[in-house]
Structures are given as C-alpha cells and as structure tokens.
Amino acid sequence: MISHKAISCLIIDDEPSSQRVLQHFIAQTPVLDLKTTCSNAEEAFKYLQLNEKVDLLFLDINMPKQSGLDFYKSLQNPPLVIFTTAYPQYAVDGFEVNAIDYLLKPIAYERFLTAVNKVLHNNDRNANEDEFIILKENKALHKIRFEDVQYIEAFGDYVKVHTKQKTITTHSTFSKFIENLPHYFLRTHKSFSINLKKLNYLAGNQISIDNHKIPIGQTYKQTVLKALNL
C-alpha cells in the first residue's frame, strides 16, 4: 500500500540534459526521493548491487552498450519502472515488461506528475487512510489524502477536488481522474463522484455531504442505491 513514506527512485539516462530535467521534476515532487543518477546500465547495476533496493526507476530506453529495456529485463525482482525516451516506437516494448508508464521526451511536468500518480496507485487500489495523491493547481503542488476528499466535480477540462478545508482545481478530464480513485468513491452523476465515507444522507435525487448537495443522475441512481444497500 502507498503511505506517507517517500518513493525512492533512480535516474538512468545517458543524456545530461535529460538528467537535469528529471532531477528538477523530482525535486519539485515531495513524494519522490532521488537516490542517485546513473549515466548507463553498468553504473545502475553497480548501484543496485551495493545499496538498498529502490522503489522506482526513471529509465531511458535508448542507451549505448545496453538498452534500458534489456537492462530492466536482466534484473531479478526489479523495481517499478517509468521508461523515458525520445523515440515513440519504443512504447510498446516498454509496456511489454509492465512498465508503469512511458514518458516521451521532451517531458512536460504535468505528464511527469501523471506518471508518478500511477505509481501511487499501483500496489493497492483499495486505499487506506494514508493514501494520497499529488495535485497541481497553477504552480503549486498539493498533497491530498483520499480520506479527506468529500467529492470530485467535473469542470470542463479540469476537475475540482473538494475537501472540508479547500477546493483544488487541477487539469484533468473527469473520466480519467476517477479511474484510479479508491473503492469507497462512487460516481453519482456524469459530473460528480463522492466519498461514501463522507455521506450524511440521501434525499430524493440528491446526496448531502456537510452543506453540499450532490446530484444523483438518473443513469447512476440504481448503482447508488445498490451501493448504499437501499
């Protein structure tokens, strides 16, 4: 399960400019803990042999001597991996080894953050009270515990994530955002998903959470009633 413990990670990339970009992104992302940067597979192998296992590799596929893909296949009990490369034709190969994600250079920070959130949800989609997500709003990053989320609302090309203390508006389609929510979230409408733990009561075609009224769409009503054993 994902907890507050930072995700230890390793950059393996032969291009200094790509190394700097990933180092900068990781430094901006509180949940990540960069252990070291390696310029080739041989350096990475030595590091992994001599140090504690890391949780995640940011691994360039196209490297001299040994490709990132071949290096990853050679590891026993390999960490999670996010492949990076400038060549989109390698994407299929990356997913054949169950990569968490594949980042095409030049990498945008928003896309990087999407990949990191996939890591957060990878091990156990049944969340506990320590599970969280990193959300970007404007230039700020917010670490939000799923337990604290009351409901989620579609807002054009964005979603609004409502907690008791604040509302964060982050760039994502609604359908994509709710794909990785914990099991105790329930879609009640084409534009709303609620945290069932926060529900106060249901009346007619509305659900009450604190003083908020969340609509129940006709398409979702039977699913909602079933989820509430009604």
Give the distance from CA 77 to its chain's centroid: 22
Q: Give the model's pLDDT for residue 102.
A: 87
Gap between the Cα atoms of 143 and 146, Å rounded: 10
pLDDT reported for residue 40 = 95
At 133 the pLDDT is 87
Distance CA 19, CA 22 (A): 5
For the chain, what is the radius of gyration of the CA atoms? Answer: 20
Please give the backbone phi and psi of residue 199, each rounded to the nearest 5 degrees, phi first: -65, 130
Half-sphere exposure of 171 (CA within 13 A, CB side): 11
Please tell me the distance from the alpha carbon of residue 55 to that of residue 78, in angstroms, as a whole number: 9
Q: What is the pLDDT of residue 229?
A: 62
HEC profile for the chain? CCCCCCEEEEEECCCHHHHHHHHHHHHHCCCEEEEEEECCHHHHHHHHHHCCCCCEEEEECCCCCCCHHHHHHHCCCCCEEEEEECCHHHHHHHHHCCCCEEEECCCCHHHHHHHHHHHHHHCCCCCCCCCEEEEEECCEEEEEEHHHEEEEEEECCEEEEEECCCEEEEECCHHHHHCCCCCCEEEEECCEEEEHHHCCEEECCEEEECCEEEECCHHHHHHHHHHCCC
Note the pLDDT tens digit of each residue in 76-94: 889 999 999 887 666 555 5
pLDDT at 28 (0 to 100): 94
Taking only the tens place, the pLDDT of each residue in 186-198 is 999 999 999 998 9
153 has which bridge partners? Answer: 160, 192
Tell me what pLDDT residue 216 has: 96
Q: Give the global pTM.
A: 0.59
How far is residue 207's CA from residue 225's CA, in Å, rounded to a whole number? 11
Cis peptide before 16 (omega within 30 of 0): no
**pLDDT confidence of residue 91:** 57
Residues of the chain with pLDDT under 50: 1-4, 125-127, 129
Q: How far apart are CA 133 and CA 117, in angstroms?
A: 6
